[in-house]
């Protein structure tokens, strides 16, 4: 399944020489909003700038590894800090590769300690459960229906930034980043017999009554439904880290693997990264707070059952 909704190459521009694609329009499937946190937001006004980068292969690690400062490693995810010069060189390297794609999220302005939620991708709805509605036990009901229970999965990247505090060397904040990639949907069938009510016999009359009678009698029938089981590749990283002034945090959420034949391992064909920056915004009004999103009761997209 092709999870990215839009991939745009960006021009590098910025008054300070740093790679800031200010003219890049926000791509569909990307959201950024300020949400109401557990406590009232305080601190100087700042804005977060987040870019989603898909880069071909892993060669960039060998080239830039010595210039990046390791911050954290959790499972298959890694976090580095990059200063302004390294960030500019790295972004130039990405832009020069035609296979590298960069997406920009909307800018969110908030008091430093405020909470910000970002998402890239799409919501996929699927049939997670079937509620049995019947007038009798399994295989003995005369009336039967299956009411589907719809659930939702995010296919993409989500991030939450909060509890920021401006320090001499940058902004220290709490980060939670999650990536869910839906690989497939397995299916499972449930079936049972519906038994006709005995006193509902049809008794036609006439010359052909005996033959019609045999054909017209209610007969047991099989009724079934399908549930879907998602197969998801997930990664998560969380912690409290410092975004360097004029620099950025670069977060790898793991590689996209091309299936191989040796011991189940394959060749990494691309890597998904999130670049997080901040900028002081003195005198700017904060982005309005938006309510948290909840699962829709009437989904706009329902994933069709796939073959096993």
Distance in angstroms (rounded) separating the CA atoms of residues 79 and 176: 12
Domain-located, residue 298: no
Residues contacting 171, CB < 8 A, separation 6+: 46, 112, 164, 165, 242, 243, 245, 278
> Is the per-residue pLDDT at 228 higher than 60?
yes
Distance in angstroms (rounded) separating the CA atoms of residues 116 and 134: 46
Given pLDDT bands bounded at 50, 70 and 90, which one contains residue 251? very high
Domain-located, residue 96: yes
Structure-model confidence comparison of residues 203 and 300, the more confident one: 203
The pLDDT tens digits of the residues spanning 61-104 come to 999 999 999 999 998 899 999 999 999 999 999 999 988 999 99
Domain-located, residue 158: yes
Distance in angstroms (rounded) separating the CA atoms of residues 177 and 239: 9
Looking at the DSSP bridge assignments, the partners of residue 70 are: 80
> Is the per-residue pLDDT at 163 higher than 70?
yes
93: Cα within 13 Å, side-chain hemisphere:
16
Domain-located, residue 78: yes
Work out how many domains the chain is built from and give that number.
Answer: 1
Give mean pLDDT, residues 216-224.
77
> Is the per-residue pLDDT at 194 higher than 60?
yes
Given pLDDT bands bounded at 50, 70 and 90, which one contains residue 201? low
> Is the per-residue pLDDT at 302 higher than 50?
no
Give mean pLDDT, residues 2-15.
29
Domain-located, residue 201: no
Q: Do the bridges between strand 101-104 and strand 45-56 make them parallel or antiparallel, or are there none, so unpaired?
A: antiparallel
The pLDDT tens digits of the residues spanning 19-37 come to 333 333 345 578 888 988 7
Residues contacting 116, CB < 8 A, separation 6+: 32, 33, 34, 35, 48, 108, 110, 160, 161, 162
Please give the model's pTM, rounded to 2 decimal places. Answer: 0.73
Structural domain boundaries enclosing 91: 31-125+151-182+230-280
Domain-located, residue 207: no
Domain-located, residue 176: yes
Distance in angstroms (rounded) separating the CA atoms of residues 86 and 92: 10
Domain-located, residue 19: no
Distance in angstroms (rounded) separating the CA atoms of residues 234 and 232: 6
């Amino acid at each position: 399944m092709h999870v990215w909704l839009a991939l745009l190459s960006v021009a590098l521009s910025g008054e300070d020489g740093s790679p800031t694609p200010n003219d890049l329009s926000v791509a569909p499937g990307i959201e950024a909003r300020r949400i109401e946190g557990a406590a009232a937001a305080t601190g100087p006004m700042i804005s977060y700038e987040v870019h989603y980068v898909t880069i071909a292969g892993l060669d960039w690690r060998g080239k830039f590894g010595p210039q990046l400062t390791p911050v954290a490693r959790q499972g298959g995810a890694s976090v580095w800090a990059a200063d302004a010069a390294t960030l500019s060189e790295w972004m130039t390297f990405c832009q020069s590769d035609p296979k590298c794609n960069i997406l920009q999220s909307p800018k969110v302005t908030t008091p430093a300690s405020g909470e910000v939620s970002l998402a890239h991708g799409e919501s996929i709805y699927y049939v997670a459960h079937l509620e049995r509605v019947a007038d009798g036990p399994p295989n003995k009901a005369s009336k039967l229906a299956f009411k589907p229970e719809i659930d939702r999965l995010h296919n993409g990247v989500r991030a939450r930034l909060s509890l920021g505090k401006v320090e001499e060397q940058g902004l220290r904040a709490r980060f939670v980043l999650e990536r869910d990639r839906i690989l497939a949907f397995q299916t499972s069938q449930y079936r049972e017999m519906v038994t006709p009510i005995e006193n509902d016999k049809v008794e036609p009359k006439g010359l052909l009554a005996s033959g019609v009678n045999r054909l017209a009698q209610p007969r047991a029938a099989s009724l079934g439904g399908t549930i879907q089981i998602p197969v998801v590749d997930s990664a998560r990283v969380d912690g409290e880290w410092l975004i360097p002034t004029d620099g950025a945090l670069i977060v790898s959420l793991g590689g996209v693997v091309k299936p191989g034949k040796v011991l189940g391992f394959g060749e990494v064909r691309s890597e998904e990264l999130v670049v997080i920056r901040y900028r002081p915004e003195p005198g700017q009004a904060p982005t309005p707070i938006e309510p948290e999103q909840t699962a829709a009761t009437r989904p706009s997209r329902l994933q069709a059952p796939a073959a096993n």
